[in-house]
Amino acid sequence: MIVSIFAAVLAIMYIQLSFRVIKLRKKKKISLGDGGDSTLNAAIRTHGNFIEYVPFSLILLFLVEYQGLSSHYCYVLGLMLVVGRICHSYALAENQLKFRVIGMALTFLTMLLSAVLLLITRVI
C-alpha cells in the first residue's frame, strides 16, 4: 500500500517533533505548559497541529487508495501532505510565516482533494 510509505515518513516526523518538545522542556526546565516561553510554545503547537491534522489526512489518503484510484493520486496527495507538514514545522521553528501558510495550504488542499476524489468515485 502506498499510504503506508507516507504513514511511516509522517510517523518519523511526529517522533522528531515530540523529541523537540521534550528537549526544549528539559533545557528550559518546564514540565507542563509552556511557562511563557515562546520557543517552547511554538514547538508544542507545531507538535499539536501535526497530530490534529495528519491522522485524518492519512485516513482520507488510505480511503483514496482503498477505492482503487490511480496510484498517481496517492503519491501526489501523500507528497503534498508530507511537504506541507515539513513547511509548517520549519515555519514555526524558524518563525517564517510564509512557510506556515504554504504548509497549512498544502495540508488543507490534500484533505480537500482527497474528499472530492472520494465523493466523485462514490457518486459517479
* Rg of the chain over all Cα atoms, to the nearest angstrom: 16
Instruction: Work out the burial of residue 31: count CB atoms within 10 Å of its CB; fewer than 13 is exposed, 13-18 middle, 19 or more buried.
Output: exposed
pLDDT in tens, 44-73: 999 999 999 999 999 999 999 999 989 999
pTM of the model: 0.92
pLDDT-above-70 percentage for the chain: 100
Query: Binning pLDDT at 50, 70 and 90, where does residue 124 land?
Result: confident
pLDDT in tens, 75-120: 999 999 999 999 999 998 888 889 999 999 999 999 999 999 999 9
Count of structural domains, the chain: 1
pLDDT at 33: 93
* Domain limits for position 79: 2-123
Give the CATH number of the domain where residue 35 resides.
1.20.120.550
